[in-house]
Amino acid sequence: MLVATSRNAVHQRSNYMTHDSTQRFTDRVTDYVKYRPGYPRDIVTFLHDTCGVPEGARVADIGAGTGISTRLFLDAGYPVVAVEPNQAMRAAADAWLTHYAGYASVAGTAEATTLATASVDLVIAAQAFHWFDLKPRGLVALLWNSRLLEGTAFLAGYEALLRRFSEDYQSVAERYADDESMAEWFGNGLSHKVGFPNAQRLDFEGLKGRLLSSSYAPKAGHPNHDPMLAALRDLFDRTARDGMVEFVYETRVYAGSA
């Protein structure tokens, strides 16, 4: 059914994406594996019950990273090939998921997956689509854990911290999809959009790791790194309850034929 290679997108939302985007997380893999949130099981149920994705459908996870979204579908019984250009992230996924009989990985990009034409039934991209210049043909599901920017003192304070200390946070944030851009990208093919609640409860080490897993967080040695962590400690101390803060997301899913 699907052509598991891709052609140029109808448009790009900014010029920020470069080939270097495939390497942005190389030195953040450990934190990414430990501190990034998973995805609700409701996504798989939604794709099956509402979008008609059959049990056992062959899935390509484009920009699979360390395999968080890949595992969601493997646990539901779907065979998945993880397409990931970053060797360090792909190795982490392999170490975590190799025991699944339905798992495979390839060193490919969104624009050159290496997969054969008509080799998969569903293309997914989770938390990675904003790095792509991608326009496959067939059934596509795009997933995001979208952090809420306000609603609690912690959420508002964390957003303010990123804007204060990260030099490219805004550039990355501007690439995140909204309803309008997704409607434009899918064209007449967008058939479903849905949101699910999701959250992490984090102690300070978890919160620190979650921050440092972000590609836009200043690295050790950058002049903003230590002041950022000091501000994070202060934010945690002011807003934690019972030694924890709640990192709240809406998991957004857009599905249709592209």
Q: What pLDDT was estimated at residue 83?
A: 93
**C-alpha–C-alpha distance, residues 156 and 159, integer Å:** 5
Residue at 108 is within a domain: yes
On whether residue 65 sits in a domain, the answer given is yes
Q: Calculate helix-pair angle for 225-239, 153-165, nearest 10 degrees.
A: 170
pLDDT at 113 (0 to 100): 83
Indicate which CATH number applies to the domain containing 121: 3.40.50.150
> Is 165 a domain residue?
no
Model pLDDT for residues 78-108, shown as the tens digit of each residue: 999 999 999 999 999 999 999 999 999 999 8
Q: Which domain holds residue 103?
A: 3-147+174-198+250-257
Please tell me the predicted confidence (pLDDT) of residue 115: 86
Q: How many separate domains does the chain show? A: 1
Question: Is 188 within the bounds of a domain?
Answer: yes
Residue 63 predicted with pLDDT over 80: yes
* Residue 222, domain member (yes or no): no
The band of 134, judged by pLDDT with boundaries at 50, 70 and 90, is low
Report the mean per-residue pLDDT for the chain. Answer: 87
Say if strands 122-126 and 103-106 run parallel, antiparallel, or are unpaired: unpaired
In a domain, 7, yes or no: yes
**Is 228 a member of any domain?**
no
pTM equals 0.85
Does residue 62 carry a pLDDT above 60? yes
| pLDDT digit string, tens, across residues 20-59 | 555 555 566 888 889 999 999 999 999 999 999 999 999 9
- Residue 29: the pLDDT is 83
Average pLDDT over residues 11-18: 35
Six token digits for residue 105: 């990985």
d(CA 165, CA 218): 7
Alpha helices by DSSP H, listed for the chain, are 29-35, 42-49, 68-75, 87-97, 153-165, 169-173, 179-186, 204-212, 225-239
DSSP secondary structure, 75-103, as one string: HTT--EEEE---HHHHHHHHHHHTTSTTE
Burial class (CB in 10 A: 0-12, 13-18, 19+), 150: exposed
Q: Is residue 33 part of a domain?
A: yes
Q: What pLDDT does residue 131 have?
A: 52
Phi, psi of 125 (to 5 degrees): -140, 120
Mean predicted confidence (pLDDT) in 168-174: 83
Which pLDDT score, from 0 to 100, does residue 130 have? Answer: 56
